[in-house]
Amino acid sequence: MTVVTPDLLRRFDVAGPRYTSYPTADRFVEAFGEQDYMLALQQRRVGSVGKAAPLSLYVHIPFCESLCYYCACNKIITRHPERAEVYLRYLSREIDLHTAHCGVGQQVSQLHLGGGTPTFLSDEGLRELMAMIKRNFTLVPGGEYSIEVDPRTVDEQRLALLAELGFNRLSFGVQDFDPEVQKAVHRIQPAEKVFALVESARRLGFESVNVDLIYGLPRQTPESFERTLRQVAQLRPDRIALYAYAHLPERFKPQRRIVTAELPMASAKVAMLAQGLEIFSAAGYVYIGMDHFALPDDALAVAKRQGRLHRNFQGYSTQPDCDLIGLGVSAIGRVAATYSQNVKTLDEYYDAINQGRLPIVRGLALSRDDLVRRAVIMALMCQGKVLFEPMEESWLIDFRSYFEPELQQLQTLAEHGLVTVSDEGISVTPMGWYFVRATAMVFDRYLQANLNRAKFSRII
Protein backbone atom coordinates (compact mmCIF):
# COMPACT_ATOMS: atom_id res chain seq x y z
CA MET A 1 0.00 0.00 0.00
CA THR A 2 1.18 3.50 -0.83
CA VAL A 3 1.70 5.41 2.42
CA VAL A 4 0.31 8.94 2.25
CA THR A 5 1.86 11.02 5.01
CA PRO A 6 -0.11 13.63 6.98
CA ASP A 7 2.52 16.18 5.92
CA LEU A 8 1.69 15.63 2.24
CA LEU A 9 -2.04 15.76 2.93
CA ARG A 10 -1.62 19.09 4.73
CA ARG A 11 0.71 20.51 2.07
CA PHE A 12 -1.73 19.87 -0.75
CA ASP A 13 -4.93 20.71 1.13
CA VAL A 14 -5.82 23.57 -1.20
CA ALA A 15 -9.04 24.62 -2.88
CA GLY A 16 -9.54 23.43 -6.44
CA PRO A 17 -12.04 22.09 -8.99
CA ARG A 18 -13.18 18.47 -9.21
CA TYR A 19 -12.80 18.54 -13.01
CA THR A 20 -16.00 16.79 -13.97
CA SER A 21 -15.49 19.15 -16.90
CA TYR A 22 -12.92 21.52 -18.29
CA PRO A 23 -13.44 24.41 -18.41
CA THR A 24 -15.27 24.15 -15.09
CA ALA A 25 -18.89 25.23 -14.65
CA ASP A 26 -17.94 28.56 -13.04
CA ARG A 27 -16.67 29.61 -16.49
CA PHE A 28 -20.11 29.23 -18.11
CA VAL A 29 -21.58 32.48 -19.47
CA GLU A 30 -25.12 33.68 -20.09
CA ALA A 31 -24.11 34.78 -23.58
CA PHE A 32 -24.40 31.09 -24.47
CA GLY A 33 -28.12 30.38 -24.71
CA GLU A 34 -30.85 28.24 -26.21
CA GLN A 35 -29.97 28.98 -29.83
CA ASP A 36 -26.36 27.89 -29.33
CA TYR A 37 -27.49 24.67 -27.67
CA MET A 38 -30.06 23.90 -30.38
CA LEU A 39 -27.37 24.36 -33.02
CA ALA A 40 -25.12 21.86 -31.23
CA LEU A 41 -27.98 19.33 -31.07
CA GLN A 42 -28.76 19.78 -34.76
CA GLN A 43 -25.11 19.44 -35.74
CA ARG A 44 -24.89 16.21 -33.76
CA ARG A 45 -27.91 14.88 -35.66
CA VAL A 46 -26.62 15.93 -39.10
CA GLY A 47 -22.97 15.08 -38.50
CA SER A 48 -23.55 11.58 -37.19
CA VAL A 49 -26.19 10.15 -39.53
CA GLY A 50 -26.00 6.37 -39.24
CA LYS A 51 -23.08 6.43 -36.80
CA ALA A 52 -24.17 8.50 -33.82
CA ALA A 53 -22.23 7.66 -30.68
CA PRO A 54 -24.46 6.67 -27.73
CA LEU A 55 -25.62 9.44 -25.45
CA SER A 56 -25.40 9.86 -21.70
CA LEU A 57 -28.55 11.15 -19.96
CA TYR A 58 -28.72 12.93 -16.60
CA VAL A 59 -32.13 13.60 -15.03
CA HIS A 60 -32.30 15.93 -12.02
CA ILE A 61 -35.07 15.23 -9.50
CA PRO A 62 -34.88 18.18 -7.08
CA PHE A 63 -37.31 17.09 -4.35
CA CYS A 64 -36.43 15.92 -0.81
CA GLU A 65 -38.72 15.20 2.14
CA SER A 66 -36.28 16.62 4.69
CA LEU A 67 -33.26 18.88 4.75
CA CYS A 68 -29.73 17.53 5.28
CA TYR A 69 -27.73 20.41 6.72
CA TYR A 70 -24.50 19.64 4.83
CA CYS A 71 -26.19 19.58 1.43
CA ALA A 72 -24.96 21.82 -1.40
CA CYS A 73 -27.21 20.33 -4.10
CA ASN A 74 -30.03 22.10 -5.90
CA LYS A 75 -33.06 20.75 -4.03
CA ILE A 76 -36.60 21.59 -2.93
CA ILE A 77 -37.78 20.45 0.50
CA THR A 78 -41.43 19.34 0.37
CA ARG A 79 -43.81 16.70 1.67
CA HIS A 80 -46.23 17.20 -1.23
CA PRO A 81 -45.79 14.35 -3.73
CA GLU A 82 -48.10 16.07 -6.20
CA ARG A 83 -45.31 18.57 -6.92
CA ALA A 84 -43.32 15.71 -8.46
CA GLU A 85 -46.29 14.79 -10.65
CA VAL A 86 -46.29 18.29 -12.14
CA TYR A 87 -42.51 18.18 -12.56
CA LEU A 88 -42.69 14.91 -14.50
CA ARG A 89 -45.12 16.46 -16.98
CA TYR A 90 -42.65 19.26 -17.65
CA LEU A 91 -39.76 16.80 -17.95
CA SER A 92 -41.74 15.00 -20.66
CA ARG A 93 -42.16 18.29 -22.53
CA GLU A 94 -38.46 19.08 -22.17
CA ILE A 95 -37.62 15.68 -23.66
CA ASP A 96 -39.95 16.46 -26.59
CA LEU A 97 -38.11 19.74 -27.16
CA HIS A 98 -34.82 17.82 -27.28
CA THR A 99 -35.98 15.10 -29.66
CA ALA A 100 -37.35 17.76 -32.00
CA HIS A 101 -33.72 18.73 -32.60
CA CYS A 102 -31.75 15.51 -32.13
CA GLY A 103 -34.35 12.97 -33.23
CA VAL A 104 -36.27 10.17 -31.48
CA GLY A 105 -34.56 6.86 -30.72
CA GLN A 106 -31.03 8.09 -30.05
CA GLN A 107 -29.03 5.36 -28.35
CA VAL A 108 -28.19 5.86 -24.66
CA SER A 109 -25.43 3.93 -22.91
CA GLN A 110 -25.50 5.80 -19.60
CA LEU A 111 -28.42 7.10 -17.53
CA HIS A 112 -28.16 8.68 -14.11
CA LEU A 113 -30.94 9.97 -11.87
CA GLY A 114 -29.66 12.48 -9.34
CA GLY A 115 -31.04 15.06 -7.00
CA GLY A 116 -32.37 15.99 -4.59
CA THR A 117 -33.73 12.54 -3.95
CA PRO A 118 -34.79 10.57 -7.06
CA THR A 119 -36.51 8.02 -4.82
CA PHE A 120 -38.80 10.85 -3.69
CA LEU A 121 -40.82 9.82 -6.76
CA SER A 122 -43.61 7.34 -6.13
CA ASP A 123 -43.57 3.91 -7.75
CA GLU A 124 -45.96 5.25 -10.39
CA GLY A 125 -43.76 8.31 -10.87
CA LEU A 126 -40.67 6.19 -11.41
CA ARG A 127 -42.56 4.03 -13.91
CA GLU A 128 -43.78 7.14 -15.74
CA LEU A 129 -40.29 8.65 -15.90
CA MET A 130 -38.67 5.49 -17.27
CA ALA A 131 -41.51 5.02 -19.75
CA MET A 132 -41.02 8.53 -21.17
CA ILE A 133 -37.27 7.95 -21.45
CA LYS A 134 -37.73 4.63 -23.24
CA ARG A 135 -40.32 6.13 -25.60
CA ASN A 136 -37.85 8.75 -26.76
CA PHE A 137 -34.45 7.05 -26.41
CA THR A 138 -33.02 3.57 -26.88
CA LEU A 139 -31.28 2.19 -23.78
CA VAL A 140 -28.57 -0.09 -25.17
CA PRO A 141 -27.74 -3.48 -23.57
CA GLY A 142 -24.72 -3.36 -21.28
CA GLY A 143 -25.14 0.32 -20.42
CA GLU A 144 -24.78 1.94 -17.00
CA TYR A 145 -28.20 2.83 -15.58
CA SER A 146 -27.85 4.28 -12.10
CA ILE A 147 -29.91 6.06 -9.47
CA GLU A 148 -29.07 7.85 -6.23
CA VAL A 149 -30.95 6.31 -3.31
CA ASP A 150 -31.77 7.76 0.10
CA PRO A 151 -31.87 4.66 2.34
CA ARG A 152 -34.66 6.28 4.36
CA THR A 153 -37.02 6.27 1.36
CA VAL A 154 -36.76 2.69 0.07
CA ASP A 155 -37.27 -0.94 1.07
CA GLU A 156 -36.61 -4.21 -0.74
CA GLN A 157 -39.85 -3.89 -2.67
CA ARG A 158 -38.81 -0.49 -4.06
CA LEU A 159 -35.37 -1.83 -4.96
CA ALA A 160 -37.09 -4.65 -6.85
CA LEU A 161 -39.05 -2.03 -8.79
CA LEU A 162 -35.83 -0.20 -9.69
CA ALA A 163 -34.37 -3.47 -10.99
CA GLU A 164 -37.54 -4.13 -12.97
CA LEU A 165 -37.34 -0.68 -14.55
CA GLY A 166 -33.82 -1.38 -15.82
CA PHE A 167 -31.53 0.22 -13.24
CA ASN A 168 -28.38 -1.85 -12.69
CA ARG A 169 -26.44 0.44 -10.34
CA LEU A 170 -27.38 1.99 -7.01
CA SER A 171 -25.70 4.72 -4.99
CA PHE A 172 -26.66 4.91 -1.31
CA GLY A 173 -26.10 8.16 0.56
CA VAL A 174 -24.67 7.08 3.94
CA GLN A 175 -22.26 9.91 4.94
CA ASP A 176 -21.66 8.55 8.47
CA PHE A 177 -23.10 5.79 10.64
CA ASP A 178 -22.45 7.59 13.95
CA PRO A 179 -25.79 8.58 15.60
CA GLU A 180 -24.40 11.86 16.99
CA VAL A 181 -23.11 12.95 13.59
CA GLN A 182 -26.43 12.00 12.01
CA LYS A 183 -28.26 14.19 14.52
CA ALA A 184 -25.91 17.10 13.83
CA VAL A 185 -26.60 17.00 10.08
CA HIS A 186 -30.32 16.09 10.39
CA ARG A 187 -30.09 12.73 8.64
CA ILE A 188 -31.01 9.77 10.85
CA GLN A 189 -30.58 6.34 9.22
CA PRO A 190 -29.53 3.29 11.24
CA ALA A 191 -26.63 1.25 9.90
CA GLU A 192 -28.77 -1.89 10.12
CA LYS A 193 -31.14 -0.50 7.49
CA VAL A 194 -28.31 0.23 5.06
CA PHE A 195 -26.83 -3.24 5.57
CA ALA A 196 -30.24 -4.81 4.87
CA LEU A 197 -30.74 -2.73 1.72
CA VAL A 198 -27.30 -3.60 0.33
CA GLU A 199 -28.00 -7.28 0.95
CA SER A 200 -31.33 -6.89 -0.85
CA ALA A 201 -29.61 -5.18 -3.78
CA ARG A 202 -27.22 -8.13 -4.10
CA ARG A 203 -30.10 -10.63 -4.07
CA LEU A 204 -31.85 -8.60 -6.76
CA GLY A 205 -28.80 -8.77 -9.02
CA PHE A 206 -27.68 -5.13 -9.19
CA GLU A 207 -24.28 -5.01 -10.93
CA SER A 208 -22.77 -2.39 -8.65
CA VAL A 209 -23.61 -0.76 -5.32
CA ASN A 210 -21.92 2.49 -4.30
CA VAL A 211 -21.84 4.06 -0.84
CA ASP A 212 -21.18 7.78 -0.32
CA LEU A 213 -19.31 8.91 2.80
CA ILE A 214 -18.36 12.41 3.97
CA TYR A 215 -15.58 13.30 6.37
CA GLY A 216 -15.30 16.67 8.11
CA LEU A 217 -18.91 16.73 9.34
CA PRO A 218 -19.89 18.19 12.73
CA ARG A 219 -19.21 16.00 15.79
CA GLN A 220 -17.01 13.65 13.76
CA THR A 221 -13.76 12.56 15.36
CA PRO A 222 -11.04 10.30 13.95
CA GLU A 223 -12.18 7.65 16.46
CA SER A 224 -15.88 7.84 15.54
CA PHE A 225 -15.20 7.96 11.82
CA GLU A 226 -12.88 4.96 12.04
CA ARG A 227 -15.87 2.96 13.30
CA THR A 228 -17.90 4.04 10.26
CA LEU A 229 -15.04 3.20 7.90
CA ARG A 230 -14.71 -0.29 9.36
CA GLN A 231 -18.47 -0.82 9.14
CA VAL A 232 -18.39 0.17 5.46
CA ALA A 233 -15.44 -2.15 4.82
CA GLN A 234 -17.53 -4.91 6.41
CA LEU A 235 -20.53 -3.90 4.27
CA ARG A 236 -18.24 -4.28 1.25
CA PRO A 237 -20.03 -2.24 -1.41
CA ASP A 238 -18.60 -2.48 -4.92
CA ARG A 239 -17.68 1.21 -4.89
CA ILE A 240 -17.06 3.83 -2.22
CA ALA A 241 -17.00 7.60 -2.61
CA LEU A 242 -15.18 9.35 0.25
CA TYR A 243 -15.82 13.09 0.03
CA ALA A 244 -14.48 15.98 2.08
CA TYR A 245 -17.18 18.22 3.51
CA ALA A 246 -16.87 21.78 2.20
CA HIS A 247 -18.35 24.22 4.72
CA LEU A 248 -19.51 27.21 2.66
CA PRO A 249 -22.50 28.64 4.57
CA GLU A 250 -22.26 31.94 2.70
CA ARG A 251 -23.11 30.05 -0.51
CA PHE A 252 -25.34 27.23 0.75
CA LYS A 253 -28.07 28.31 3.14
CA PRO A 254 -28.74 24.86 4.73
CA GLN A 255 -25.16 24.78 6.03
CA ARG A 256 -25.92 27.77 8.27
CA ARG A 257 -27.72 25.31 10.57
CA ILE A 258 -24.45 23.51 11.25
CA VAL A 259 -22.72 24.58 14.45
CA THR A 260 -19.30 25.72 13.27
CA ALA A 261 -17.73 24.97 16.65
CA GLU A 262 -18.69 21.30 16.18
CA LEU A 263 -16.72 20.93 12.94
CA PRO A 264 -13.48 18.92 13.26
CA MET A 265 -10.17 20.73 12.97
CA ALA A 266 -8.09 20.44 9.80
CA SER A 267 -5.69 18.01 11.51
CA ALA A 268 -8.62 15.74 12.41
CA LYS A 269 -9.87 15.81 8.80
CA VAL A 270 -6.44 14.80 7.58
CA ALA A 271 -6.43 11.94 10.09
CA MET A 272 -9.86 10.79 8.87
CA LEU A 273 -8.75 10.79 5.24
CA ALA A 274 -5.58 8.89 6.12
CA GLN A 275 -7.69 6.32 7.97
CA GLY A 276 -9.97 5.93 4.96
CA LEU A 277 -7.05 5.36 2.60
CA GLU A 278 -5.50 2.81 4.97
CA ILE A 279 -8.67 0.89 5.86
CA PHE A 280 -10.06 0.62 2.33
CA SER A 281 -6.68 -0.29 0.85
CA ALA A 282 -6.24 -2.99 3.50
CA ALA A 283 -9.74 -4.26 2.67
CA GLY A 284 -8.68 -4.80 -0.94
CA TYR A 285 -10.18 -1.73 -2.60
CA VAL A 286 -8.47 -0.09 -5.57
CA TYR A 287 -8.07 3.69 -5.37
CA ILE A 288 -9.61 4.96 -8.61
CA GLY A 289 -8.77 8.61 -8.04
CA MET A 290 -10.65 11.69 -6.86
CA ASP A 291 -12.10 10.20 -3.65
CA HIS A 292 -13.28 6.97 -5.29
CA PHE A 293 -12.52 3.35 -4.42
CA ALA A 294 -13.70 0.14 -6.09
CA LEU A 295 -13.28 -3.58 -5.60
CA PRO A 296 -10.76 -5.09 -8.05
CA ASP A 297 -13.43 -6.85 -10.12
CA ASP A 298 -15.74 -3.82 -10.33
CA ALA A 299 -16.08 -2.28 -13.79
CA LEU A 300 -14.43 0.98 -12.64
CA ALA A 301 -11.32 -0.80 -11.37
CA VAL A 302 -11.15 -2.92 -14.53
CA ALA A 303 -11.51 0.18 -16.70
CA LYS A 304 -8.70 1.91 -14.81
CA ARG A 305 -6.37 -1.09 -15.26
CA GLN A 306 -7.18 -1.22 -18.98
CA GLY A 307 -6.87 2.54 -19.55
CA ARG A 308 -10.58 2.90 -20.44
CA LEU A 309 -11.59 5.19 -17.58
CA HIS A 310 -13.54 8.34 -18.50
CA ARG A 311 -14.87 11.30 -16.57
CA ASN A 312 -17.99 13.42 -17.03
CA PHE A 313 -20.37 15.55 -14.96
CA GLN A 314 -21.40 12.44 -12.98
CA GLY A 315 -17.78 11.58 -12.13
CA TYR A 316 -15.77 8.56 -13.23
CA SER A 317 -17.36 6.29 -15.82
CA THR A 318 -16.54 3.16 -17.83
CA GLN A 319 -18.56 4.43 -20.78
CA PRO A 320 -16.74 5.97 -23.76
CA ASP A 321 -16.50 9.76 -23.86
CA CYS A 322 -19.90 10.83 -25.19
CA ASP A 323 -22.37 13.65 -25.44
CA LEU A 324 -24.48 14.25 -22.33
CA ILE A 325 -28.01 15.62 -22.28
CA GLY A 326 -29.07 17.12 -18.94
CA LEU A 327 -32.79 17.17 -18.12
CA GLY A 328 -34.53 19.05 -15.32
CA VAL A 329 -33.73 22.11 -13.22
CA SER A 330 -30.02 23.01 -12.99
CA ALA A 331 -28.98 19.97 -15.09
CA ILE A 332 -25.73 20.34 -17.02
CA GLY A 333 -25.14 18.93 -20.48
CA ARG A 334 -22.33 18.57 -22.96
CA VAL A 335 -22.86 18.30 -26.71
CA ALA A 336 -19.84 18.33 -29.03
CA ALA A 337 -17.60 21.26 -28.02
CA THR A 338 -20.25 22.99 -25.90
CA TYR A 339 -21.45 22.90 -22.29
CA SER A 340 -24.88 24.09 -21.17
CA GLN A 341 -26.89 24.39 -17.97
CA ASN A 342 -30.59 24.66 -17.29
CA VAL A 343 -32.23 27.31 -15.13
CA LYS A 344 -32.04 26.65 -11.39
CA THR A 345 -35.57 27.33 -10.11
CA LEU A 346 -38.86 25.56 -10.80
CA ASP A 347 -40.62 28.80 -11.74
CA GLU A 348 -38.00 29.63 -14.39
CA TYR A 349 -37.99 26.03 -15.62
CA TYR A 350 -41.79 25.86 -16.00
CA ASP A 351 -41.92 29.30 -17.58
CA ALA A 352 -39.36 28.43 -20.27
CA ILE A 353 -41.11 25.18 -21.20
CA ASN A 354 -44.52 26.87 -21.24
CA GLN A 355 -43.03 29.21 -23.84
CA GLY A 356 -41.81 26.24 -25.87
CA ARG A 357 -38.17 26.99 -25.08
CA LEU A 358 -35.36 24.75 -23.91
CA PRO A 359 -34.60 26.03 -20.38
CA ILE A 360 -30.93 26.86 -21.03
CA VAL A 361 -29.63 29.71 -18.85
CA ARG A 362 -25.91 29.63 -19.58
CA GLY A 363 -23.13 27.60 -21.15
CA LEU A 364 -19.89 27.73 -23.07
CA ALA A 365 -18.56 27.09 -26.55
CA LEU A 366 -15.07 25.66 -26.05
CA SER A 367 -12.09 27.26 -27.76
CA ARG A 368 -9.31 25.21 -29.32
CA ASP A 369 -7.12 25.91 -26.28
CA ASP A 370 -9.95 24.68 -24.02
CA LEU A 371 -10.10 21.43 -25.98
CA VAL A 372 -6.34 20.88 -25.84
CA ARG A 373 -6.24 21.49 -22.11
CA ARG A 374 -9.33 19.35 -21.54
CA ALA A 375 -7.58 16.47 -23.29
CA VAL A 376 -4.55 16.85 -21.02
CA ILE A 377 -6.55 17.22 -17.80
CA MET A 378 -8.83 14.26 -18.54
CA ALA A 379 -5.86 12.08 -19.49
CA LEU A 380 -4.27 12.89 -16.13
CA MET A 381 -7.49 12.39 -14.17
CA CYS A 382 -8.43 9.11 -15.88
CA GLN A 383 -5.30 7.42 -17.21
CA GLY A 384 -2.77 9.09 -14.93
CA LYS A 385 -0.48 9.96 -17.81
CA VAL A 386 -0.05 12.21 -20.84
CA LEU A 387 2.18 11.08 -23.71
CA PHE A 388 3.66 13.99 -25.65
CA GLU A 389 3.79 12.46 -29.13
CA PRO A 390 0.13 11.36 -29.44
CA MET A 391 -0.99 14.69 -28.00
CA GLU A 392 1.15 16.57 -30.51
CA GLU A 393 -0.20 14.51 -33.41
CA SER A 394 -3.81 14.95 -32.31
CA TRP A 395 -3.63 18.71 -31.71
CA LEU A 396 -0.76 19.78 -33.98
CA ILE A 397 1.20 21.40 -31.17
CA ASP A 398 4.70 21.19 -29.76
CA PHE A 399 3.77 20.06 -26.26
CA ARG A 400 6.92 21.28 -24.49
CA SER A 401 6.63 24.71 -26.08
CA TYR A 402 2.83 25.01 -25.69
CA PHE A 403 2.97 24.03 -22.02
CA GLU A 404 6.39 25.37 -21.06
CA PRO A 405 5.18 27.27 -17.94
CA GLU A 406 3.10 24.27 -16.83
CA LEU A 407 6.01 21.87 -17.17
CA GLN A 408 8.08 24.19 -14.98
CA GLN A 409 5.33 24.21 -12.34
CA LEU A 410 5.21 20.42 -12.37
CA GLN A 411 8.76 20.30 -11.04
CA THR A 412 7.47 21.11 -7.54
CA LEU A 413 5.06 18.17 -7.70
CA ALA A 414 7.82 15.99 -9.09
CA GLU A 415 10.06 16.90 -6.15
CA HIS A 416 7.36 15.63 -3.79
CA GLY A 417 7.06 12.38 -5.71
CA LEU A 418 3.60 13.04 -7.17
CA VAL A 419 4.51 13.03 -10.87
CA THR A 420 7.38 12.07 -13.12
CA VAL A 421 8.24 14.04 -16.25
CA SER A 422 10.28 12.28 -18.92
CA ASP A 423 11.09 12.78 -22.60
CA GLU A 424 7.98 10.73 -23.42
CA GLY A 425 5.45 12.42 -21.18
CA ILE A 426 3.99 13.02 -17.73
CA SER A 427 3.00 10.20 -15.38
CA VAL A 428 1.12 10.36 -12.09
CA THR A 429 2.87 8.24 -9.45
CA PRO A 430 0.99 5.85 -7.12
CA MET A 431 1.34 8.53 -4.45
CA GLY A 432 0.26 11.22 -6.92
CA TRP A 433 -3.12 9.57 -7.56
CA TYR A 434 -4.24 10.85 -4.17
CA PHE A 435 -3.44 14.44 -5.27
CA VAL A 436 -4.33 14.18 -8.96
CA ARG A 437 -6.45 17.34 -8.74
CA ALA A 438 -3.32 19.32 -7.86
CA THR A 439 -1.64 18.03 -11.02
CA ALA A 440 -4.66 18.83 -13.18
CA MET A 441 -4.85 22.37 -11.73
CA VAL A 442 -1.45 23.17 -13.24
CA PHE A 443 -3.01 22.96 -16.73
CA ASP A 444 -6.14 25.00 -15.87
CA ARG A 445 -5.57 28.28 -17.69
CA TYR A 446 -8.49 30.05 -15.99
CA LEU A 447 -7.44 28.99 -12.52
CA GLN A 448 -3.83 29.97 -13.09
CA ALA A 449 -4.93 33.34 -14.48
CA ASN A 450 -7.02 34.54 -11.54
CA LEU A 451 -6.05 32.17 -8.69
CA ASN A 452 -9.58 32.64 -7.35
CA ARG A 453 -9.99 29.28 -5.66
CA ALA A 454 -12.26 30.28 -2.79
CA LYS A 455 -15.33 29.13 -4.75
CA PHE A 456 -14.05 25.54 -4.91
CA SER A 457 -13.96 22.79 -2.31
CA ARG A 458 -10.61 21.82 -0.85
CA ILE A 459 -8.73 18.88 -2.32
CA ILE A 460 -8.57 17.15 1.06
* pLDDT tens by residue, 410-440: 999 999 899 999 999 999 998 888 888 899 9
Binding-site entries for S-adenosyl-L-methionine: 58, 70-72, 115-117, 148, 175, 187, 212, 246, 332
Taking the domains of the chain in order of start, what are their residue ranges?
1-23+367-460, 25-324
pLDDT digits (tens, 9 = 90+) for 172-218: 999 999 999 999 999 999 999 999 999 999 999 999 999 999 999 99
Angstrom CA distances, 255 to 69, 70, 224, 248, 417, stand at 5, 5, 22, 7, 36
Binding-site entries: 58, 64, 68, 70-72, 115-117, 148, 175, 187, 212, 246, 332
Q: What is the arithmetic mean of pLDDT over 285-308? A: 91
* Burial group, residue 83, by CB count within 10 angstroms (0-12, 13-18, 19+): middle
pLDDT of residue 31: 97
The answer to whether 349 and 359 have CB atoms below 8 angstroms apart is: yes
* Correct CATH for 1-23+367-460 of 3.40.30.10, 1.10.3720.10, 3.30.70.20, 1.10.10.920: 1.10.10.920
CATH of domain 25-324: 3.80.30.20
> pLDDT over 90 for what percent of the chain?
75
Residue 321 pLDDT > 90, yes or no? no
pTM of the model: 0.91
- Contacts of residue 292, defined as CB under 8 A and 6 or more positions apart, other chains included, come to 239, 240, 241, 242, 300, 315, 316
Domains 1-23+367-460 and 25-324 alike in fold: no
- Tallying the residues shown for the chain, one arrives at 460
Binding-site entries for [4Fe-4S] cluster: 64, 68, 71
pLDDT digits (tens, 9 = 90+) for 60-104: 999 999 999 999 888 999 999 999 999 999 999 999 999 998 889
Quote the CA–CA distance of 42 and 176 in Å, as a whole number: 45
pLDDT band, residue 454 (cuts 50/70/90): very low
